[in-house]
Structure 1
Amino acid sequence: MEHFLLQLRKNFSESDSNFVAMKNYSKNIFTSFLLIISFVITAQKLPSNKDKIYFEVDRFVANPNPSNLLKLEKFDRDITTVIRKSNDKNELLALVILNCNKGYYETLFNTTSKAISSYEKAWQTYQKNQLKNYDIIEFCLIPLGNLYAIVGDFDNAENTIKQYYYIATETKNQQQQYAAVLNLSNVYQNTGRINEAIDLLEKTIKSQKLTNLQKGNLYNNLGSNYFLHTTPNKMIPNAFENAEKAYLKAVLLLVQDNTQSEALANTYRNLSKLKLEKNETELALQYFEKAKSEFRKTSKKNSRTKAQFNFDEAIILFKKENFEEATTLIKEIFLLLIPSYSNEITLLPSEKSLYAETLLLDAIDLQAAIYKAQNKPQKAIESYKLSFFIEDIFQSSLLSENSKIINQIRNRNRTEKCIAIYEDLYKKDKNTAHLENAFLLSEQTKSAVLKQGLIQSKKQSRIEKQILTQLQNENIIILKEQQKGELASINKINEAISKQNELMLQLKQIDIKTPSKSIQNINLNDLYNKLKEDNAVLIQYFSGVEKMYSFTIMDKKIYLNSFRNNSYNSAKIIQFLDFFNDANSIANSPKEYNQRSTIAYQLLSLPKSKSHKNLIVIPDGLLNFLPFEALITKASATTNFAKMNYFLNDFNVGYQNSAHFYMSSKESKKQPEQTVLGMFPIFENTTYALNFSKEELQSIREKFKGNYFENTNATFENFKKNANKYSILHLSTHASSGDIQTPASIRFYDQEILYTELYNLNIHPELVVLSACETGIGKLFKSEGAMSIARGFQFAGAQNLLFSLWKVNDYTTSIFMDLFYTNIKKNQSYLEANANAKRDYLKSATVSNAKKSPYYWSAFVYYGSVEKEKISPNYIYYSTGLLMLISLFLIYIRTRK
């Protein structure tokens, strides 16, 4: 239940926003008193804009309710129009205070998106006008950072927290530094950077002079991060023990302060979850009762915190299979979080009443799980559809690519549960509609962020594109500075973060006017027809937590296969992939390669039909790095690599990000004469030298006209200037897949370019060939794929790409590329040219048996369109001539008769 762990505790901790209202209220009462005295004395002066603002804030705080909040929001819009161009810093500061108070109460009344907008407006006004004499960190930035995290906008959350940590460090405000560490660890936790969170928390606990209360809260967070290490796919030794120790230390510290009932209640709740995960239900209940006891002591019990306790109790009841009581608590959650909720009979809320709220999302998902346990699959599907709707709301509010990808995790888990339900339904009634629904759900998760980004880029205004480019530039500054480690400039990073915040706020204001729409499902009949036209079979994988599913579409039918995604089956895939870690693994153990490869082939349920020429693979998870062509369909004892039974012999294998990408891929409009833009840095007389790149250059230049930049001329600037002038872009250079911290990159002669720097190129070539190492490898996200150089070019507009899956050999790559371009010259489609180049390579008499190992020829995979086989102009000419001769001959025969 990863999505349960995505909730971020709304931790205003030492920066309790109640102080915002109280402090401002006291200040404003005094202001109002002076204002009244002023009226009495002078009876002439009209109230200033500043006084009007304070008066309205005071009036609202005296009686805060949703109706009065709407009036305050209207006043804010009106007064903002009046003082928009004001230079009066007192008026502007009053506007900041108004929006901070408004944001606080909007949070209390569960209108999170409005609260974020209010805090953003306050921060923008404060920053833009360089205002002072107000604790902007306490009353604006801390709650804003927490709200960003709650809605899954983790990039903005991280930037905001880092910014106020920097300000707090400059002003030596230890309390706000501590709040930043606590909240930043929450962001790391929710973005999967658990080790970073643990490292940050442990260092802070050891190095800082902290109160018992502060240490207690830090230990509670530390326990939550250790707890995440207990999930099956991340099981780390002693994770449960470390989590429990940290929670118990937190209890010992927090129990000493009787004002910290809420923090203590949260720790007991976490202990309850820990015990529940270990199936120690009775202990879980005991800790939960302690949590409830502490919660009753707290003075502030807003609807969200009440709903959170209901949800935690409902989870325990669900585990005990007490479904009716759990459902009762879920209904109470709906009543607390949805003002218009009245579906007491149907239970589930209406779609129009839903909004972006993680707790609401979790409650609906839990109800779906209850329905499934009660053997009500259709009701479970109905519930999950509401959850998908909420996820769409979340996604539409996010601007950062990284945040959107992270939020896809929840959708994937939910999708897997739905596919499992559809699979069970199909087994019962054999209704193919269940398979179609399951496939369409799987399809929705495939490269969804890339897909949406490409659609939006076509609609973006010039200003939006400028801001996005600036945002990207600032992010690159941060990444490149961080790579310097201890030599990194904190000031430079903070300046870039500050600029990013400013740009993001500008972009959000534009984005409000142009809301994005979710991507519609593909039409299955259109897909069936296109596959028939392309003489192709399509297989799409979905790698879930429990199972790996594969959907095979062939002859207008969908087939579903699955296997357990456990360590036993995963090992079969990993053992095959391990052969490609270095050049010698396969050559030294050809028989073992034969066996391991056959096992992987059998596990993946690949089609065996000989009646289709092409196969489109849509991989997922680790399968993104698997060369399907190199799988062995039938084991043999031969050590002759050319004679092995490769899957390459059965199909021309191509790849795609999704069925949507396959459907939208168009047959490239080849120019009368194809031309190449070649980038060949070669790096002569350096440690980066690519000696055989010269031969690759010469081979391509003999076949295709174009512009070929060598050595010092192979710069990024020359590439950008010329990229839109040629049909094929060929880059023969060095590239790196990066790692968890370092993004993937590609090297031009003058500089190394990160994959995200390619996003804004706006290119539309027929083909991009990345003749370099690991150009298809990068940080991997299930469904979305690898954050690789290839992705950078896809985002830039390239539809057809040939790229590598591991470190390629300079010599054999030059041979392969010669064969590939020879096939293109023969007017073969790119898919066929790639497949035939591999077959030709295996047949070549000039290549030794050792170099015919799959390591050397299967690295390059083709993502793109499946073009119909081209008929050469000469063939058409000769065929027409032959037909004319036959016709004349028949006429002659008839005349003779």
Structure 2
Amino acid sequence: MLKQAGANAWFHKGDLRRAQAWYAEALAGMRAHPEFGMEMWKVYKDLGDVFRRKGDNRRAEEMYEAAIQSAYDYYKPFKNRELAKLNCQLGTYALESGDLDRALAFFQEAMIQVFPEFNNADPAANPAPAEVYTESWIMDACAGKGRTLHARYLRTGGEADLTNAARCFDLAIEGVRQLKQSLGNDAAKIYLGDFSHAFFEEAIAVNFLLWEKRKDPVFIEKIFELMEGSKSSTLQNALQLNRAVIFAGVDKDLLRREEFLRVSMAEYQKRVQEERMKGETKDTSQILVYRKKIGDLEREYDQLLQKIGEEDPRFKSAMREVAPVALSDFRHQILGKTDRVLEFFMGKNNLYILSFDRQHADVRALPLASGVYNELFEWLARFQKPEAMNADYADFLQTGHLLFKQLFGDLAFPSDRPLKLLVIPDGIAAILPFEALNLTPPGAPPVFLIERAELRMAYSASVLTQQENWPVKTKEWVHFAPEFRTGVRGLSPLLYSARETEGVYGMTTFSGRSATLPAFLEWAPRCAWIHLSTHARSGGNGVAPHVEFYDSTLYLPGIYALRLSAEMVILSTCESGLGTIEKGEGVMSLARGFSYAGAKSLISSLWEVNEFSTAGIFSGFYQYLKKGKTRAEALRLAKLDYLHSPDRPAFEKTPWYWAGFMLIGVDGPVRHQSPVRAGFYGLCLVLAGVAWVIWRRRRSAGHSSLRRA
């Protein structure tokens, strides 16, 4: 066993000569001690990998055959997941070698080993979806078979292989879904989302080919289902949990315990962040202590949720898995408010774009090798600083036009109003300022997409559906603007930030020293509208995204720990929409954190925005809300006012100054009687009352004088 472990170490270091020698010694020892027979097939398989890496395919084949024989001798007559694992590994080797029929045989055998009731060796046969259970090798076996059938279709053109491949990927993805349900913490679910992202890409590729061949709408429905399944599942689970905790009427003592554990986990995660920020002086042992405490709290939290579910049927009912939204249902739900939806899937080889309105739907595949990926990166790089954009503005506009044509194709715009667009991005597209794309070819005056379209974003159709149905019990509005006028904690002053909500009656404002983290944590859960005007960073180098208050820093884990019932959160900060892009989940940003906590709508930023232009845009935004405009309309019109203002020099009208903020989530006019209108109407009532009192006094005075006369 020690020789085997040592051989594994040499193999991973790339020392194939020593690895081969140590594996051979391990094999000899196992032959002499039959009690280690269960490990013998693994050594044969590892030796095969050594010869394969050396390029000695003949010897590799011999070792793989010996591995199969040894494994079946040991496990027969029973099925075993280790046999499924071995067959998957050998199937992958055969697929990479181009021996597709042999690869199919291996993957079919792997499926036989991993599905208890399935015994059909015919590659045309598959288990029923109902036979899928929580087992990781189900994913690999079914996806491997689907991948091989897809490769054989590309070689022979047999459409039956393509149809069979689609069924196999359905089984693999059902395996992903069930395994994800069994996982406790978000980190494990996000890891599984990253691991399984390739399955979704391959499934979309197969269904895209079927769509091109048959033009059957069922494949559009399927592609939508796959795109949705690949996005934001952890966020969906969080929204479901938040709703259950807030609205299911859980026992108050259990709620207090749930809050204590949730806040405690956030506190220890904050301590990890603060220790990391010490750089070379950080105490690694203390970080390990904090991480152990976080692990203990996570386990206790999971146990508490299980207990709540057992004792409270309403909570248990609220936590039942929500069925993914179907394309037909989503069309009915959303297209009264939106003209067209574009949903993206960013794969390793292609960017898939699904576009639909009430009557029509289509899907396109943009090969990333065509240059679109590089163009996206180069164009985004221009938004880092205004100087980078202005250095070659003509080239920036030209690239923006090329991207518009690639991403939107022949999109038609109404002549009498802006096109209402909902964009569900993926990958790098999630940080793309779509409004700054240029509709006109080189040489013509630029026409930005914002001038012809009204945009908003969503994490996924399923998340948006949950947000649409999220009840808001609170009505208070609050604005936090620390300003940092004295450069407190080394943060630069934000002199215009308090102006962003000027004229919004009924807005409670915490500015300067009063804009503290404890005040925010007290007010945020009871507010329907939260506006933050402060510093923030997207994180990096081991530090989580964070937002600054006058006295302290709120890190992303602390935002996850909030329980909000907010109609809108406005993050008038830098980089609040940026963060690490996780396949299968999205951008791990401050914006996502507030969505996770329960915000129905957000406005967040994509770069280090300009403070002066930001103040002007948000001031205009509130003025348009007061006039009854929807959130998307109000933000668009405020940006256009800035863009077309005669008081701005041309260099301050580039997209860097106005395109940084995007609306995510639910649209619509302000719900309830908002402070914008309530304050206005309240002021009118006060003025009317004052006028009435003055009139009465004058009238009384007039009567008195007449009587004295």
TM-score range, shorter chain: 0.7 to 0.9
Give the C-alpha shift of residue 587 in structure 1: 1.7
2:23 touches 2:43 (CA, 8 Å); kept in 1? yes
* Other-structure match for 2:236: 451
Where do residues 613-762 of structure 1 align in structure 2 (5 Å cutoff)?
Answer: 613-637=419-443, 644-666=446-468, 675-686=477-488, 688-691=490-493, 693-739=494-540, 741-762=542-563
In structure 2, the residue matched to 1:289 is: 62
> Which residue number in structure 1 is paired with residue 137 of structure 2?
359
Q: More deviation in 381-390 or 293-302? A: 293-302
User: CA offset at residue 783 of structure 1?
Assistant: 4.2
Contact 2:401-2:437 at 8 Å conserved across structures? yes
CA distance in 2, matches of 1:767, 1:347: 51
Instruction: Confirm or deny: 8 A CA contact 2:499 2:619 kept in the other structure.
Output: no
Equivalent residue, structure 2, for 1:395: 180
Residue of structure 2 in register with 1:528 after alignment:
331
* Cα distance change of structure 1 residues 558 and 760 upon mapping to structure 2, 3 Å threshold: same
Q: 1:259 is matched with which residue? A: 29
Superposed displacement of residue 840, structure 1 = 0.3
Q: What TM-score does the superposition give when structure 1 sets the normalisation length?
A: 0.65
For 2:84, the equivalent position in structure 1 comes to 307
Deviation at 1:676, TM superposition (A): 3.4
Equivalent of residue 589 in structure 2, options 779, 788, 801: 788
Q: 1:686 Cα shift? A: 4.3
Kindly report which structure 2 residues correspond to 1:457-468, keeping only aligned pairs within 5 A, or say none. 457-460=242-245, 462=255, 463-464=257-258, 466-468=260-262
Matched, 1:569 2:569: no
Which residue in the other structure is 1:559 paired with? 362
Relative to structure 1, the CA distance from residue 285 to residue 806 in structure 2 (aligned partners, 3 Å threshold; closer, same or farther) is farther
Identify the residue that residue 216 of structure 2 maps to in structure 1. 431
Q: Pick the aligned partner of 1:495 from 244, 266, 289.
A: 289
- Residue 843 of structure 1 is matched in structure 2 by 644
CA distance in 2, matches of 1:851, 1:687: 30
Residues 334 and 341 of structure 1 are in contact (CA less than 8 Å); yes or no, is this contact kept in structure 2?
yes
Shift of 1:678: 2.7
Q: Is the 8 A contact 1:542 1:783 kept in 2?
A: no
Cα deviation, residue 471, structure 1: 3.4
Query: For the Cα contact (< 8 Å) 1:681–1:713, is it kept in 2?
Result: no
Query: 1:321 Cα deviation (Å)?
Result: 4.9
The residue that corresponds to 2:413 in the other structure is 609
TM-score, normalising length: structure 2? 0.81
Q: Which residue of 2 aligns with 1:268?
A: 47
- Which residue does the alignment assign to 2:312? none
Displacement of 1:304: 3.9
Give 2:270's aligned residue: 476
Q: Is the 8 A contact 2:458 2:665 kept in 1?
A: yes
Match of 2:169 in 1: 384
**Paired residue for 1:330?**
107
Q: What is the root-mean-square deviation of aligned Cα atoms in Å? A: 3.3
Please tell me whether the aligned partners of residues 706 and 726 of structure 1 are also in contact (alpha carbons under 8 angstroms): no
Residue 853 to residue 334, structure 1, CA distance change in 2 (3 Å) = closer
Contact 1:250 1:267 in 2 (8 A): no
For 1:492 and 1:454, the matched residues in 2 are separated by 32
What secondary structure sits across from 1:702 in the alignment? coil
Asked if 1 retains the 8 angstrom alpha-carbon contact of 2:91 and 2:102, the reply is: yes
Contact 2:419/2:453 (CA < 8 Å) preserved in 1? yes
Q: Percent identity?
A: 21
- The answer to whether the 8 Å contact 1:696/1:817 transfers is no
Structure 1 CA distance for aligned equivalents of residues 275 and 475 of structure 2? 44
For the structure 1 residues 313 and 706, does the alpha-carbon distance in structure 2 shift closer, same or farther, using more than 3 Å as the test? closer
Task: Find the aligned partners of 1:298 and 1:394 in 2 and give their Cα distance.
Answer: 26
Alpha-carbon distance change, 388 to 457 in structure 1, aligned in 2, over 3 angstroms? same
Structure 2: 5+ residue runs without aligned partners? Answer: 31-39, 310-315, 682-709
Contact 2:64–2:90, Cα closer than 8 Å, also in 1: no
CA distance in 2, matches of 1:668, 1:836: 27
Deviation at 1:731, TM superposition (A): 1.0
Residue 341 of structure 1, aligned match among 103, 106, 118: 118
Q: CA deviation at 1:667?
A: 9.2
State the alpha-carbon separation in 2 of the partners of residues 355 and 597 from structure 1.
47
Using the TM superposition, give the Cα deviation of residue 812 of structure 1 relative to its aligned residue in structure 2, in angstroms. Answer: 2.1
Q: Which residue of 1 aligns with 2:699?
A: none
How far the C-alpha of 1:221 sits from its partner, in A, is: 3.4
In the alignment, which residue of structure 1 is the partner of 2:692? none
SS at match of 1:591: helix
Q: Structure 1, residues 510-552: CA drift from partner, whole Å, max 9, x if none?
A: 5667586543121433322334321421101001112101111
Match of 1:219 in 2: 10
Paired residues of 1:674 and 1:704 also in contact (CA < 8 A): no
Mapping for residues 784-823 of structure 1, pairs under 5 Å: 784-823=585-624
Deviation by residue 1:146-192 (Cα, 9 ceiling, x = unmatched): xxxxxxxxxxxxxxxxxxxxxxxxxxxxxxxxxxxxxxxxxxxxxxx
Answer yes or no: is 1:250 the counterpart of 2:19. Answer: yes
The answer to whether the 8 A contact 1:677-1:723 is kept is no
What SS does the corresponding residue of 1:682 show, helix, strand or coil? coil
Residue type of the alignment partner of 2:47: Y
Any conservation in 1 of the 2:467–2:665 contact (CA below 8 Å)? Answer: yes
